Amino acid sequence: MELKYEEIVIKPIVTERSMHNQAFGKYTFEVHPKSNKIQIRKAIEKLFKVGVVSVNTIKIPGKMRRYRAAIGKTRDRKKAIVTLKQGDKIVIKGIEMFEE
């Protein structure tokens, strides 16, 4: 299954930990669950025009949730922590993605 670059990277994850890691050149994204590290690396390089040193991925299983009498499960997610080459930053629409 061939995914487009826009389908691989879903959205950035903005948390206190991801903001702290940005100082070390590490950016966190939610990615397509069936994408692999090579696809994620190529997508980040093409979409943001930066150099990628490494990609670490984490699968996050969905949690059981209850709403009144109905019991369900949230969706499974996958996130990637991307380390950029020194000096590179990710900029979206003229704004730095994570401010320092």
Name the strand (E) or helix (H) holding 19. Answer: helix 16-22
SS3 content of the chain, % helix, strand, coil (to 5): 25, 40, 40
Dmax over CA atoms of the chain, in Å, equals 52
pLDDT at 95 over 70: no
Q: How many residues would you count in the chain?
A: 100
Q: How far apart are CA 77 and CA 30, in angstroms?
A: 7
Write down the pTM of the prediction: 0.85
The neighbouring-strand residues paired with 27 are 82
Residues 2-21 have pLDDT tens digits of: 889 899 999 999 889 988 99
The reported pLDDT for the residue numbered 36 is 95
Domains of the chain: 5-92 (3.30.70.330)
Residues 15-66 have pLDDT tens digits of: 899 889 988 999 999 999 999 999 999 999 999 999 999 999 999 999 999 9
